[in-house]
Amino acid sequence: MTRTGLSRSTVNQRIDALLQGALIVPSGEQAPTRGRPAEKFGFNRGRGVLLVADLGATGMRVALCDLAGEILSERDVVVDVAEGPVVVLERIQQEFVGLLAAAKLKRSAVLGIGLDVPGPVDSASGRVVSPPIMNGWDGFDIPGWFGSRYGCPVLVEKDVNAMAWGEQHLAHPDVADLLMLKVGTGVGGGLVSGGHIFRGADGAAGDIGHLHVDLPAAGPEPECRCGNTGCVEAYAGGWALLRDLADGGADVRTVDDVVTLIRSGDLAAVRLARRAGRALGEGIAHAVNLFNPRVIVVGGQLAHVEEQLFAGIREMVYRRSLPLATRNLQIVRSHLDRRAGLIGLALLLADTIFAPDQVDAMVSVNG
Amino acid sequence: MTRTGLSRSTVNQRIDALLQGALIVPSGEQAPTRGRPAEKFGFNRGRGVLLVADLGATGMRVALCDLAGEILSERDVVVDVAEGPVVVLERIQQEFVGLLAAAKLKRSAVLGIGLDVPGPVDSASGRVVSPPIMNGWDGFDIPGWFGSRYGCPVLVEKDVNAMAWGEQHLAHPDVADLLMLKVGTGVGGGLVSGGHIFRGADGAAGDIGHLHVDLPAAGPEPECRCGNTGCVEAYAGGWALLRDLADGGADVRTVDDVVTLIRSGDLAAVRLARRAGRALGEGIAHAVNLFNPRVIVVGGQLAHVEEQLFAGIREMVYRRSLPLATRNLQIVRSHLDRRAGLIGLALLLADTIFAPDQVDAMVSVNG
């Protein structure tokens, strides 16, 4: 009860509803107590599934999960988010159909759908808002699109928020203030604080990628795709490293190529990675002063060059942030790695289904 | 019910307890409803009072308040926080005794005591932690000191958090995400989000004063009292303006002198004020990207040079923050001004007394 913050009677009502729907089954064990015995319940894994999609700038990962948030099967798909919502959502839907068919499940087994996107989401409507890199998505009704096809709750979340939720719940359950950093094609931040995702007034909170940083001796400020100069992302985003390495004559086409080149020890690439680390570190130092997190988790493709990136991050954070905020601070690599978003979505969805009024993220039930 | 988030039965239990203690009285009006009539209750203003003290670096303001958070009487007192807790708390206690005597009230009429301080507070213990400008206060048990004298709840809060709470409740009740900025001797920030004060893992959140900023063409980075260079506070804190004006030969001894000089139109002072505005603006731009507030309230003594300060603030915020986070953003001057901290403390205390388990700030009940 302490865990949920719900009263005993509310929990009992919910358990009864779930037992009726066979979503959960008593797991047998019980402890002596007054009133209704404090039974343990397990998810009825056979009863229903969740479909989730983690949408990046140039690819996505889709998965079929059980109600405990465990991934049953998953697929990687190449897709360009800039093709717009109609093309991309149809592609996701094809994959969902494929995942269900492979598992011999009907559409009616789907109890919830979750999608995360590389841009801010209006939590009241589940619509993407003013996404800098998602042409044509502004205001598109994603929950309505899936809701009409499945008739189940549909949840839309900013990618790094879903990742933060997954990391906090599985890797750092005792940490109340966790900041997640995604360093992939772009750079984004998501904060879980006191059991809630911190979204801000417009769903735009955590935007570490466009903090302006001042790197001594780094030359003229690089241009950012947002139109400004000197943003964290203009030094540390995968797109920026790709640009800078290509400008230097390196044969790189994707962010994965960048990661490979840095790991190979290429001098120019390592130098850029360390500069990226310092830019991230200056941005993170700002976030440490303002959010005062206990743990910072770094994920995304660039987290795979941990060694080169983390030196710069730690250098700037310890130089710039006050001791009180850093003395118990941990900076760690993502535990769930490429699955953080999928798992976070599945856990958020499970919360939505089991306690709809406790979840402030968008949920739409149609049909 | 919606407002409190409490169940009807919990609210009824609390109302019964408060009626028994005569803390509230039915105010007569009622609306038709099922079950217990939805009566309106008013605070029984004669039943008890609150004592609050807003402690600054070189002065404080103390007040006697009723249970609705209204100030009944108040006093300004010159005191140097660096004299340490024993001297300063004795001074506060003298003032409290004076306020009670003037109101012909006994000590037993005091239902709660609130103190805010210019430094981070550990919300679990109510102790000040690693305060940069509060020599001798680290870990001092303020709640214990007052609790043993009054036997009532004692609440200790960071000054700008109390101000944020007061502003949000009285001036911006419909705003869920409010960032308060105090620009006085130092520079601090406090955030109210979704009905809670955002404190971070160590009570150190909102530290805008020590964000590192990069002002083009501002010359070499000024030194900050934290040991770093180029902090927001090193440009915009009252102490920094005092230093810079004195270095230029101006006859200024207090932050109030600085305000007077800027308002007089003195060219050097106005130039420094505009530079301070740009430094604050760069810091606020970071806070806008990370917190995404709906309203930013600027208070503290320097808010009295609004005209010169706000131009620089707006310039940098609109240059640096992304459109999504600024299109509905308001930047306004403090409504409660010098009383923001006192009123915030009184409102926080009232919440503590009426719903103790809803308040996560420190409360100690002794005797």
Q: Which of A203, A205, A319 sits opposite B291 (nearest CB)?
A: A205
| Cβ-based burial of B146 (10 A; exposed 0-12, middle 13-18, buried ≥19) | buried
CA pair distance B112, B95, nearest whole angstrom: 15
* Residue % of chain A over a pLDDT of 90: 71
Can you give the pTM of this predicted structure?
A: 0.86
Average pLDDT of span A300-328: 92
Among A115-124, B231-240, B243-252, the range scoring the smallest mean pLDDT is A115-124
Residue A102 within any structural domain of the chain: yes
Chain B contact set for A130 (CB, 8 A): 323-324
Contact flag B212-A211 (C-beta cutoff 8 Å): no
Q: Are strands B127-128 and B121-122 parallel, antiparallel or unpaired?
A: antiparallel
Token pair of B256 as six digits: 């109030």
Give the helix/strand (H/E) hosting A160: helix A159-170
Let me know whether B205 and B329 are in one domain. Answer: yes
pLDDT of residue A20: 54
Average predicted confidence (pLDDT) for chain B: 87
Give the SS3 label for residue A172.
coil
**Whether A219 contacts chain B with CB within 8 A:** no
Banded model confidence at residue B269, pLDDT cuts 50, 70, 90: very high
Let me know whether A212 and A305 are in one domain. Answer: yes
CA pair distance A14, A36, nearest whole angstrom: 14
Banded model confidence at residue B58, pLDDT cuts 50, 70, 90: confident
- Per residue in A264-273, pLDDT (tens digit) is 999 999 999 9
Q: Which of A189, A290, A319 sits opposite B287 (nearest CB)?
A: A290
CA pair distance A233, A144, nearest whole angstrom: 32
Residue B26 within any structural domain of the chain: no
The closest alpha carbon to B294, from B269, B326, B317, belongs to: B326
Chain A contact set for B289 (CB, 8 A): 204, 207-208, 210-211
Q: Which of A201, A228, A329 sits opposite B293 (nearest CB)?
A: A201
**Whether B291 contacts chain A with CB within 8 A:** yes
pLDDT of residue A14: 55
Among A190-204, B38-52, B282-296, the range scoring the smallest mean pLDDT is B38-52
Q: Give the list of residues 6+ apart from residue A163 with CB closer than 8 angstroms, or none.
A: A116, A180, A182, A190, A297, A299, A334, A336, A340, A341, A344
The closest alpha carbon to A272, from A212, A218, A224, belongs to: A218
Contact flag B328-A202 (C-beta cutoff 8 Å): yes
| B134 CB neighbour count, 10 Å cutoff | 22
Q: Is A35 left (phi over 0), alpha (psi -120 to 50) or beta?
A: left
CA pair distance A108, A276, nearest whole angstrom: 47
pLDDT of residue A36: 47
Average pLDDT of span B177-204: 96
Residue B62 within any structural domain of the chain: yes
* pLDDT at B43 > cutoff 60: no
- Per residue in A31-59, pLDDT (tens digit) is 444 444 445 555 555 679 999 999 988 88
* Residue % of chain B over a pLDDT of 90: 72
Let me know whether A111 and A219 are in one domain. Answer: no
Let me know whether A233 and A138 are in one domain. Answer: no
Angstroms from A48 CA to nearest CA on chain B: 31
- Per residue in B162-179, pLDDT (tens digit) is 999 999 999 999 999 999
Angstroms from A211 CA to nearest CA on chain B: 6
Banded model confidence at residue A346, pLDDT cuts 50, 70, 90: very high
**Whether B2 contacts chain A with CB within 8 A:** no
Strand arrangement of the beta sheet that strand A154-158 belongs to: A71-78, A59-65, A49-55, A110-117, A154-158
Let me know whether A228 and A350 are in one domain. Answer: no
pLDDT of residue A33: 44
Let me know whether B198 and B153 are in one domain. Answer: no
Let me know whether A92 and A156 are in one domain. Answer: yes
Q: Which of B129, B292, B327 sits opposite A205 (nearest CB)?
A: B292
Judge contact between B68 and B48, C-beta under 8 A.
no
Q: Please report the DSSP string for A98-123 in residue order.
A: HHHHHTT--GGGEEEEEEEESS-EET
Banded model confidence at residue B366, pLDDT cuts 50, 70, 90: very low
The gap between the terminal CA atoms of chain A, to the nearest Å, is: 33
Average predicted confidence (pLDDT) for chain A: 87
Let me know whether B142 and B158 are in one domain. Answer: yes
Let me know whether B222 and B103 are in one domain. Answer: no
Q: Tokens 């971070």 appear where?
A: B200
CA pair distance B30, B13, nearest whole angstrom: 18
Higher pLDDT, A202 or B15: A202
Average pLDDT of span A77-95: 95
DSSP assigned state of B83: G
For B323, nearest residue in chain A (alpha carbons): A130
Residue A365 within any structural domain of the chain: no
| B268 CB neighbour count, 10 Å cutoff | 14
pLDDT of residue B252: 97
* pLDDT at A171 > cutoff 90: yes
Q: Are strands A38-43 and A110-117 parallel, antiparallel or unpaired?
A: unpaired
DSSP assigned state of A49: E
Contact flag A204-B7 (C-beta cutoff 8 Å): no
* pLDDT at A30 > cutoff 60: no
Residue B365 within any structural domain of the chain: no
Longest CA–CA span in chain B (Å) reads 73
Residue B9 within any structural domain of the chain: no
Domain at A236, CATH number: 3.30.420.40
Residue B93 within any structural domain of the chain: yes
Let me know whether B217 and B322 are in one domain. Answer: yes
Any idea what the Cα angle at residue A46 is, between residues A41 and A49, rounded to 5°? 100
Token pair of B309 as six digits: 């300060």
Chain A contact set for B324 (CB, 8 A): 120, 129-130, 202, 204
Let me know whether A320 and A350 are in one domain. Answer: no
* pLDDT at B185 > cutoff 60: yes
pLDDT of residue A133: 78
Q: Tokens 């241009």 appear where?
A: A223
Judge contact between A301 and A255, C-beta under 8 A.
yes
Judge contact between B204 and A324, C-beta under 8 A.
yes
pLDDT of residue B37: 47
Domains: count for chain A? 3
Banded model confidence at residue A362, pLDDT cuts 50, 70, 90: very low
Q: Give the list of residues 6+ apart from residue A272 with CB closer than 8 angstroms, or none.
A: A241, A244, A245, A262
CA pair distance B244, B54, nearest whole angstrom: 27
Residue A2 within any structural domain of the chain: no
Judge contact between B128 and B121, C-beta under 8 A.
yes
Let me know whether B203 and B131 are in one domain. Answer: no
Q: Which of A130, A134, A289 to mutate to test the interface with B (most CBs of B within 10 A)?
A: A289
pLDDT of residue A216: 75
The closest alpha carbon to B269, from B281, B259, B277, belongs to: B259
Average pLDDT of span B71-80: 95
Domain span at A19: 8-43
